[in-house]
Amino acid sequence: MKRAAMCLCSTALALTACSQADSASPSNQTDVARGYELTPMVEGLDIVWGAAFLPDGDLLVTEREGDLHLIDDWQLVPTPIENTPDVLAERQGGLLDIALDPDFEANRLIYLSYSKGTREANSTAIARARLSTDRTTLEDVTDIFVGEFKKSGGAHFGGRLGFMDDGTLLLTLGDGFSYRDDAQKLTNHLGTIVRINTDGSVPPDNPFVGIEQARPEIWSYGHRNVQGLAFDRANDVVYAHEHGPKGGDEINIIKPANNYGWPVISYGVNYDGTMVSNETHHEGMEQPIVKWVPSIAPAGMTFYTGDKHAELKGDLIVSALAGMQIRQVDLEDGKVAGENILIEGDERYRMIITGPDGEIYVSIDNPDGAIFRLDKVE
């Protein structure tokens, strides 16, 4: 397969100049002192959306069309794992993210997010399953969460999963594209991040438990389409990035009960150029710590804690679709100090994950897909 043409570019970007840097950075610019390249690890995959490392270092990956694959010692096992959920593989929908149970070594449980239903009536769901000991099939597959509100169409499912340190599970849900106003309502799950227990029950300390008509699973709301979650576990911080419309992609710090404003406030405009809102600030609504205008379409994110790349430690590493980039968001004492473009090429970058070996791995978002390792240029 064709290896992507990569820009080994790490031009520092001041946040106030993001739009100029995005439009002006030449695709062949190289900073050898801080240059990066992508080394192919596995080929023959089809739109990898999510990934999770097993305790032995092997990898489970989801393909959006519905297959779950095992990568054994960096060799793709060609036969998909059997008995995955029936997914709606429609536009942005399909088999999305994967997460291992915190006690996986004892119970072998995994969690899969996916789009469930028909084109006319669908939502985002979480299935829990047990990976067989020979790693060829899923057992005891059951839905533990199905989003409230059956939307139509194949857009804005969200779908990113992440475990909190207390063992509860977060899932992001998009606004359904045509239902943006519902992101401001607590009566459904559109445009929210939900928090549940691993059996699907609701943690009693969720912020909207006991509030009449509010969905008790909701952790935060006012989101457009969150597809990135990352955890600074040492400081108990949850980061999420979401797609804006035409411009206005964001990274936010997620806290329970917070309203992140969509569509009442936005730094973007509609795809036809008309205004989403005449406000970028509103009382009681949170401001992003990073915003991208024009859009880069952020698709994945990891908070880097490994030792392979000391210069990235403690920072957010973001993969982008439209921007065709991998970016470092430089954090100093929890504050954003700037950004660096690590890779800029001719591919859409989707999944990004830190491995147990301290390496960073990323997938390209196309049917002739692959997983790469981020390496420093020697």
CA 220 to the chain's CA centroid? 16
Q: How far apart are CA 66 and CA 64, in angstroms?
A: 5
Nearest to 200 by CA among 184, 216, 212: 216
Which amino acid does the sequence have at 28? N
What's the CA gap between 133 and 69, in Å, rounded?
15
88: tokens are 């709606």
Q: Which of 69, 156, 189, 243 is catalytic?
A: 156
Contacts 24+ apart (CB under 8 A), 196-199: 196/126, 196/144, 196/145, 196/168, 196/169, 196/171, 197/167, 197/168, 197/169, 198/101, 198/109, 198/111, 198/128, 198/144, 198/167, 198/168, 198/169, 199/144
Chain-centroid distance, C-alpha 69? 19
Q: Where are the alpha helices (DSSP H) in the chain?
A: 18-24, 104-107
Q: Let me know if 189 is a catalytic residue.
A: no
Cβ atoms of 249 and 243 within 8 Å: the answer is yes
**Residues forming the active site:** 156
